Amino acid sequence: MNEFLGGWGVDALVEKLRTLRLQSLENRHRREHPPKLPSKKILGEIVDNLGAVLFPNRLGLPDLNDEGIDYFVGHTLDTLLKQLNRQIALELKFVAEQQGLSADVWQQSQGITRAFAERLPAIRGLIDSDIQAAYEGDPAAGSPDEVLICYPGITAVIHHRVAHALYRLGAPLVARVIAEIAHSATGIDIHPGAQIDESFFIDHGTGVVIGETAIIGKRVRLYQAVTLGAKRFAKDENGMLVKGNIRHPIVEDEVVIYAGATILGRITIGKGSTIGGNVWLTHSVPPGSHVSQAQVRSELFDGGAGI
């Protein structure tokens, strides 16, 4: 079947799209050829390989034996850290260009990557505590190994442990991409800025949202569709949203929050409390509280409620 070449008006479309692209760059005060951003695909591969490094017997190559594990871990780690260094450098170059600065991004990226590598044993220890908490907290879990390879909550937490370390070290965009990879795969949305202590368990998990400035203590358990969000979004004198202000809950040690609960604002859920399903909570509760249903009340949300 013969096609009429050029019948789609491709040349004209290319010209219009180029015009729009250049206008967009100009509006954002960007150069015609801005630096490239970190790659979601490459970062996804890096996190997968990190899982294999941290848990080579379960997430590594299927034919690994005792003699070959250390070689596999070393070779894989060396490769992925080089890749990670390049992705961090892309972020730093992008940020420097946005701010009109010149910086030695390679030296800075190498410092971040090296510091991240030094944290890997501690990250492995935290993930071990999360896996054990899931195994002990779910009667359906047959073994810690099953938790590691099957549970979406553990997948999300592994990504978060990695992303949070990079976020704190100065690579927030790389961290955010890693967090969104887990979000897409599991339906669990944890901002990399959230501070989460050991033995954290998300059961089922779909629809869980944990905001940037949330702080979660030890041995906390969440169920599906729990939101730890912001009650309102502050704006500056120009009506623009204020970035980075503290706005999410503090959840102390040994708290259980059941499915569908929505907890908003910089409030504190005291140690050992239990928050029931579908509760709407915007005020702090003392340690040992049991909140079984939300109070019905009308509240004013300046600028709209949010997460």
Domain ranges in the chain are 37-188, 207-307
What six digits make up the tokens of 1?
């079947």
Residue 296 confidence (pLDDT):
35
Bigger pLDDT: 103 vs 48: 48
Q: What's the rounded Cα separation, in Å, for the pair 124 and 54?
A: 6
Strand ranges in the chain using DSSP code E only, listed in sequence order = 189-190, 195-196, 201-202, 209-210, 215-216, 221-222, 227-229, 250-251, 256-257, 262-264, 268-269, 274-275, 280-281, 290-291
Maximum separation of any 2 CA atoms in the chain, in Å: 76
Band of residue 293 on the pLDDT scale cut at 50, 70, 90: confident
Per-residue pLDDT averaged across 51-72, rounded?
90
Q: How does DSSP classify residue 102? A: -
| pLDDT at residue 298 in the model | 38
Fold of 37-188: serine acetyltransferase, domain 1 (1.10.3130)
130 in Cβ contact with 201 (< 8 Å): yes
Task: Give pLDDT, residue 34.
Answer: 65
- What local confidence, expressed as pLDDT, does residue 177 receive? 98
C-alpha angle 290-296-299 in degrees, rounded to nearest 5: 110
The mean pLDDT of 15-26, rounded to a whole number, is 85
Please tell us whether the domain made up of 207-307 is placed in CATH 2.160.10.10.
yes
Q: What is the pLDDT of residues 74-124, one digit of tens each?
A: 999 999 999 999 999 999 999 988 887 777 899 999 999 999 999 999 999
pLDDT tens for 262-275 read: 999 999 999 999 99
Mean pLDDT of 160-185: 98
Between 238 and 210, whose confidence is greater?
210
Average pLDDT of 249-265? 98
Distance of alpha carbon 6 from alpha carbon 284, whole angstroms? 65
Tell me the average pLDDT of the chain. 90
Q: Which of 29-43, 178-192, 257-271, 278-292 has the lowest mean pLDDT?
A: 29-43
